[in-house]
Amino acid sequence: MELNPKIPAGPLEKKWDTHRFELKLVNPANKRRYTVLVVGSGLAGASAAATLGELGYQVRCFCFQDSPRRAHSIAAQGGINAAKNYQNDGDSIYRLFYDTIKGGDFRAREANVYRLAQVSVNIIDQCVAQGVPFAREYGGLLANRSFGGAQVSRTFYARGQTGQQLLLGAYQALTRQMAAGSVRMFPRTEMLDLIVVDGRARGIVTRNLVTGEIETHLGDAVVMATGGYGNVFYLSTNAKGSNVTATFRAWKRGAAFANPCYTQIHPTCIPVSGEYQSKLTLMSESLRNDGRVWVPRAAGDRRAPGDIPESERDYYLERKYPSFGNLCPRDIASRAAKEVCDEGRGVGETGLGVYLDFADAIGRVGESKIRERYGNLFEMYERITGEDPYRVPMRIFPAVHYTMGGLWVDYNLMSTIPGLFVLGEANFSDHGANRLGASALMQGLADGYFIIPNTIGDYLARMRPGIPDAGHVDIRATEAAVRERVSRLLAVNGSRPVDAFHRELGKIMWDGCGMARNAEGLRGALERIPALREEFWRNVRVGGAGEEFNQALERAGRVADYLEFAELMCVDALHREESCGGHFRTEHQTADGEAMRDDERFTYAAAWEYAGQGRPPVLHREPLVFESVQLATRSYK
């Protein structure tokens, strides 16, 4: 397998423009002769499908929800970054680029990140033109707030519902193309395999989630925008349906998987409340603009927060990181929360929580202003916990939130399988070892609206349009493999529910490959996962039939993939003997508990190749070359 990132030559600021000029174009009249399959209609997929449809390609778009509007992207709360510098506070494309590279702990590709920062400004214009109701200042300019890892205000938002509003914008662009006939939408349709013919991605095999019918869809290229895999941990802030199946199946067909161990643990989630919980709720990072994080100074202090005087509180983020304070990046804030809880200073019944306190902000700007900024988030918190955050501080704790790893892609967003492009959270491209807040929406929309429409043309222009013959042996074999797998899941007929396996896997992963990892824990996880997988295939209870609506079957397929994929994550985490961003190896830390990178040995993206059933995956390294920034130890002090 060859990893050629195809980074254009020339100065960083010119690379994208030069590259766009050099990319081949498809004649407008020829575009309708090419069929592009877009899997996923979250922000990345919907923006891509709409734009490709508008350009004139024949697009088929797939999602497992009943409507693109229900993609996980709708959950995004806090905002989307862009280097508009409306605040005149010193922002620039270079600063957004630098913050993102540094935030990712120098484990992302410079050229991609710079392009992301460049394109960020276009995204806002595009969304405003669509009518996305971003918050505005009194004078009419779009408002901004701050997010972690930045000292400027560059986050555009629509209250705490930014993802929903952006998705409605993309969705209306998509429905316009559906009405025009250029996009055909396939909701409630799950991709279960990738079809590769003569070394190129030429189609997908799907299961209709309502009727159970297995179908084959063929085209000239496949674009996957299937989101992240945080649910491997069972408990996460992701939508319950988010899964790894599409990317994992593509991995088995030859697409390299990069940095699978890079997981983001978000510091501000509502703490776990009991054994039977199946979902965690995020409290947006935007709350750290006004909320102050603290715990009692003394271990075991069980007094109500209001009874603890100022002098006996520890605002530990402000103390440890005076320049960024409560707005230090997520990986750092999460680890700091874990540290104070490990010291016995955590709050709430379980001791696994810290306070996020708005008393100062309410005193400073008034309750109505805070209500205006975060009203729906406060309401959500109160509904879940029964506590009124206007009166008592919120209790928060870190939880799995985002996965920086994903299918490896080159500068054109093409995977190691020619014709398979990967966008949004599903690829590994821009966030290195830690994603900064409000930059996932930016990346998903950059990929979908602005990058893929250019780069896919270059690929298609080099091949003749045409659908492969459905009788091709590779197509038939892939379809047969899907049918066989579905039958195998149904045939187990065991006694343990799918969810029980998922919950146990999640616990193994959280303990062994979670917020802090070490060789011993990872080796332990690598022993327990195959044993659990073996039990799954012997004893899982699915029930029902294949040719009908069967949610247990859907879940079983996804959990079966997680049971294999989890191993890949642990292998990656074990091999990376350094700490960087969200990957914190306890063996590699400074005296004051900060992540210690090993730039000599690990300044690369780890891209893993599937080597066949039962064989260890093969590691390929893409060296990360930094020409514009200097590798430095991250400091937010």
**Interaction site with ligand FAD (CB under 6 A):** 39-45, 62-65, 71-73, 75-80, 162-163, 190-191, 225-228, 237-238, 242-243, 245-246, 282, 401-402, 424-426, 438-441, 444
* Residue 197: closest CA among 476, 486, 610, 408: 476
In the complex, what is the shortest distance from the CB of residue 303 to ligand FAD, in angstroms, rounded to a whole number? 31
Question: How many degrees, rounded to 5, is the angle at CA 264 between CA 301 and CA 73?
Answer: 115
Produce one character per residue of 599-611: b if its CB has 16 or more CB atoms within 10 Å, e if not.
eeebbbbbbbbbe
How many residues are present in the chain?
A: 637
Residues 6+ apart with CB under 8 A from 68: 41, 42, 45, 46, 61, 167, 170, 171, 174, 185, 187
CB of 433 to ligand FAD, least distance (A): 16
Does the CA dihedral 306-396-511-261 come out positive or negative?
negative
Hey, is 489 helix, strand or coil? helix
**Minimum CB–partner distance for residue 523 and ligand FAD (Å):** 30
Amino acid letter for position 487? S
The SS3 assignment for 170 reads: helix
DSSP 435: P
* Nearest distance, CB of residue 355 and ligand FAD, angstroms: 21
3-state secondary structure 224-280: ECCCCCHHHHCCCCCCCCCCCHHHHHHHHCCCCEECCCCEEEEEEECCCCCCCCCCC
Rounded to 10 deg, the angle between the 551-575 and 498-513 helix axes is 20
**Closest to 325 (Cα-Cα) out of 148, 155, 153:** 148
Residues 188 and 226: their CA atoms lie apart, in Å, by 14
Q: Assess contact for 404 and 293: CB atoms under 8 A.
A: no
- Residue closer to ligand FAD by CB (options 100, 416) is 100
Start-to-end C-alpha separation, the chain: 42
- Measured from the CB of residue 211, what is the shortest distance to ligand FAD in angstroms? 16
User: Is 330 annotated as catalytic?
Assistant: yes
The per-residue b/e assignment along 466-497, b for 16 or more CB within 10 angstroms, e otherwise, is: eebeeebebbeebbeebeeebeebbebeeeeb
| Structure tokens given for 616 | 């260890």
Q: Beta-carbon neighbour count of residue 233 at 10 Å?
A: 27
Pair of tokens at residue 222 = 């496949």
Query: SS3 for 171-198, per residue?
Result: HHHHHHHHHHCCEEEECCEEEEEEEEEC
Nearer to ligand FAD, 354 or 442 (CB): 442
Q: Which is nearer to ligand FAD, 71 or 394 (CB)?
A: 71
Q: Which one, 79 or 271, has the nearer CB to ligand FAD?
A: 79
Among 242, 200, 240, smallest CA distance to 221 is for 200
Q: Smallest distance, Å, CB 128 to ligand FAD?
A: 17
Q: Report the candidate in 320, 338, 290, 336 with the shortest Cα–Cα distance to residue 635.
A: 320
Q: Tell me how far, at minimum, the Cβ of 452 lies from ligand FAD, in Å.
A: 12
CB of 226 to ligand FAD, least distance (A): 4
CB of 363 to ligand FAD, least distance (A): 27
Query: ∠118-433-451 over CA atoms, to 5°?
Result: 30
| Residue 237 or 579 having the CB closest to ligand FAD | 237
List all residues 6 or more positions away from 22 whose beta carbon is below 8 Å from its beta carbon.
8
Of 249, 330, 555, 576, catalytic? 330
User: Could you tell me the smallest distance in angstroms from the CB atom of residue 173 to ligand FAD?
Assistant: 14
Which of the residues are catalytic? 330
